[in-house]
Structure 1
Amino acid sequence: MTEPRHILLVDDEAIAIMALEHGLMDEGFRVTTAFNGQEALGLWRGDRFDALVTDLRMPVMAGDELIRNVRSDKPGLPVVVVSGYATGEISEGLKVNFPAPIAIMPKPVRVEEVSGALKRMLSWDVGA
């Protein structure tokens, strides 16, 4: 049996992070959570992750700065941005600054949407 894909989930909203964490675990992912980019970066340096799911606006370190940092270590890392600020202009800017694989989703988001994007980017066999 293959090991579950390890997701680094970052959001400063406790309710949002708990809902996504439990939903992604139910979908078969292993999930580690952080409440800001700086905390996430510390976790990143101490473990191995297959993908990043992050909010944009957070205290201490914003999501775009976190993406820049982790992508400097692992350029092809799949990223899902889940944000209430993921408007058209911001989404386009993210796509320009951070090449694929990246998915940008406005809050509120359904776990199935995030899970589906992760599975596509990780080339996960959904039937597995």
Structure 2
Amino acid sequence: MPEPAHILVAEDEVLAAMAMEDFLQRKGYRVTLAPDGLAALERYRNDPADLVITDLRMPRMDGRALVRELRGLDAALPLLVVTGFLSIEPGQDDLTSPAWKPLEILRKPVSPQVILDTVQRLMATRPAA
């Protein structure tokens, strides 16, 4: 029996993170939670995920910095940004750039089914190991 796909969720809102973890686990995924980008990066290095879901606004390391770090480790890693805040400020990387693909952005609030559909679509972009 193949191992379930591993999803790393970087989310500082505890209830939102736990709800996402519960939903994704019920759909058959192995889920690791991280309260911020720095913890997510450490967990990724110790146990690489097949896909990362991140918020943008988090303490210690925000989602933009996490995306940049993860892209340096694995250019093909599927990324899902789920955020209530997104603005492109001068001097910041534009997450909508083709250079960041595979990456999708969903604005909060978002239904668990939309997250699941997006996760499945992004996972399909990942080359088989």
- Structure 1: any 5+ residue segments left out of the alignment? none
Number of equivalenced pairs: 122
Aligned match of 1:105 = 106
TM-score normalized by the length of structure 2: 0.87
What secondary structure, in the 3-state scheme, does the structure 2 residue paired with 1:93 have? coil
After superposition, the CA RMSD in angstroms is 1.9
Per-residue deviation, 1:9 = 0.2
Per-residue deviation, 1:105 = 0.5
TM-score normalized by the length of structure 1: 0.88
Per-residue deviation, 1:98 = 4.6
1:44-94 deviations in Å (ceiling 9; x for gaps):
11012100000000010000100111110100100000001036x57x921
Correspondence 1:31 to 2:46? no
1:84-110 deviations in Å (ceiling 9; x for gaps):
1036x57x9211275221110011111
Change (3 A) 1:56 1:97: farther
**Counterpart residue type for residue 34 of structure 1:** A
| Correspondences of 1:1-128 after superposition (within 5 Å) | 1-86=1-86, 89=88, 93-96=94-97, 98-123=99-124
**Counterpart residue type for residue 29 of structure 2:** F
Detail structure 1 runs of 4+ shifted over 3 Å in the superposition. Answer: none
- Structure 2: any 5+ residue segments left out of the alignment? none
**Counterpart residue type for residue 74 of structure 1:** D
